[in-house]
Structure 1
Amino acid sequence: HTPEAACMAKCGFFGRLQRPAPADGAPVAIWRLGAGDLEGIVREGLTSVLERSFVAHLEDLLQSGRAASQRRTCVVRCRLVLDAQGMSVGLIIKRRNLVKRLLALGKAYFPEVNASVTVVRAPKMMAQIWTMVEPFLTPVMRAKVCILGDDFEAGLGAHSGLELSALPAFLGGQASDGDICAAMPVPKGAGVALRSAIKAGA
């Protein structure tokens, strides 16, 4: 692991589950946007590191989908589950540039990665958050989104074809939490420490 990868394993908030979707072998991605310390990432100057890690994650999903498509001899795309617990209107407004940048990366580089985007554990103000995010999505992307609250098992199955057991333990499933970046708070000095580690290894 590079120093950047080690940093993002702790502070990132996305990942692909080791076990694919049982129905068609599609990759399953989990994003913990509500748990991600966007404030700390910006404070420590880690935005570019996050963006590179996010692009690598999207590329991994794309390649995993292609491999599954070849095995199945039909198009197989990722099932994305976005855990919205902890998301707030204030944070989205304050860090809208970073959120817009991540959405733009997904839209520009990999518009057809995902078959479905299921938002779970959405807070009550999610409708307000959605109106802020929706303009940055294409019509195709918007059509793939389903927003669910805390009781999401039935909706998850209907929208994505995934059973609750396929999800990580923190979402009530049986997959390992370790498949996903830990979404830990970014400690003060993390940016300086990372840059020093990169310089030392150069």
Structure 2
Amino acid sequence: MGVDDEALTRLKLPLNATLLENKELDEGEEAMMSGDIVPEISNAKNIMDTFDETSRIRIFRGMITNNKGTEKERISEAIATFQRIGEWRLEHPDVMIKGLKGEDVLHEAMNSAVGGFDKYGHLIWGERLGDIVKVVEYPLTPDEAKAVRMKCMEGIRLLQARASKERGPRRYKQVYVIDLAEVSLGTLMTRPKVREMTIAIMGAANAFFPETMWKCFVLNAPFVFRSVWTIISPFIHPVTKEKIKILGGPSKYLPEMEAAGIDLDAIPEIFNGTKPLLTLKDAIASLAPPN
């Protein structure tokens, strides 16, 4: 699974050694973490204890190394990010073993599936966006849907961590695939509650999982999607937006994915790959309960 430099060379892609994901923080970065960031976090000991080493490095990379803005701005964003995520972790210690209202409804609407790995070892996670109206009418509030979504994303994080532990090297990012073939963009544009729910699912939860996206492929995107994109994109971090490719049907997106180091047998079959279907719900169920 993944980490195939020979294939990356053929594809003229950067090699695995160029990725920061497996690199520890250097002396200067650790000094910034311990001197400029952690002291400014409220309840710092308990907050920082919620992060494993990979998450600590990932968030630092996302907010400091790979971020934009002045050093002061990036440090401020790092402090706020550790604070926000740590508080959520303290409030939800049993999120992976506790059932949440509307989980099945949201899973059905999102059609989430887990695939294989790209040539770097990044997990492929795909969704075919369905009827968000059913989520609204269940009913779920945007905050309730956001909680379910965060559980899903925590599951993806743990699946990637498990794969890295079994295989090595460390990877904490994933390839995200979203298929718009079945979504009703008209409903999204004309019904404020549906639009609010979509933003809560697709945008707001991402603030709690920074620096986890390697690439994003938007499939079967109709022309009107550009209007929808203007609604969603303000809720997506600028660095993340640069990783997103908006594409058409299989004749467009499969070559693009192959060129990015993703083999057909790593792509779930619902996206015209050959990887047998494994729903995100079933993949999460395969995780051992957290310690």
Cα distance in 1 between the residues matched to 2:223 and 2:263: 24
The 10-residue stretch of structure 1 (4-13 or 131-140) with the greater mean CA deviation from structure 2: 4-13
Could you tell me which residue of structure 1 aligns to residue 104 of structure 2? 7
> 1:107-186 to 2 correspondence within 5 Å?
107-150=206-249, 151=251, 152-159=253-260, 161-180=261-280
**Aligned-pair CA distance for 1:73:** 3.2
**Aligned-pair CA distance for 1:121:** 1.4
Cα distance in 2 between the residues matched to 1:133 and 1:178: 28
Q: Which has the higher contact order (CA 8 A, sep 6+)?
A: 1
Given that 1:118 and 1:146 are in contact with CA atoms closer than 8 Å, whether structure 2 keeps it comes out as: yes
1:23 and 2:23 correspond: no
The match for 2:201 among 94, 99, 102 is 102
After TM superposition, the score normalised by the length of structure 2 is: 0.53
Q: 1:106 to 1:144 in 2, by over 3 A?
A: farther
Given that 1:122 and 1:147 are in contact with CA atoms closer than 8 Å, whether structure 2 keeps it comes out as: yes
Q: Percent identity?
A: 22
Root-mean-square deviation over aligned CA pairs = 2.7
- Counterpart code for 2:122: A
Given that 1:15 and 1:57 are in contact with CA atoms closer than 8 Å, whether structure 2 keeps it comes out as: no
Given that 1:80 and 1:116 are in contact with CA atoms closer than 8 Å, whether structure 2 keeps it comes out as: yes
- State the aligned residue count: 177
Secondary structure of 1:175's aligned partner: coil
Gaps of 5+ in 1: 182-202
> 1:50-65 to 2 correspondence within 5 Å?
50-65=145-160
**Aligned-pair CA distance for 1:146:** 0.5
Could you list the per-position Cα deviations for residues 69-119 of structure 1 after superposition, in whole angstroms to 9, with x for gaps in the alignment? 444234441110111113344222222211121234333210112111111
Secondary structure of 1:20's aligned partner: strand
Q: Who wins on radius of gyration, i.e. which is larger?
A: 2
After TM superposition, the score normalised by the length of structure 1 is: 0.73
Could you list the per-position Cα deviations for residues 166-186 of structure 1 after superposition, in whole angstroms to 9, with x for gaps in the alignment? 2222221222334256xxxxx
Cα distance in 2 between the residues matched to 1:163 and 1:6: 31
Gaps of 5+ in 2: 1-96, 282-291
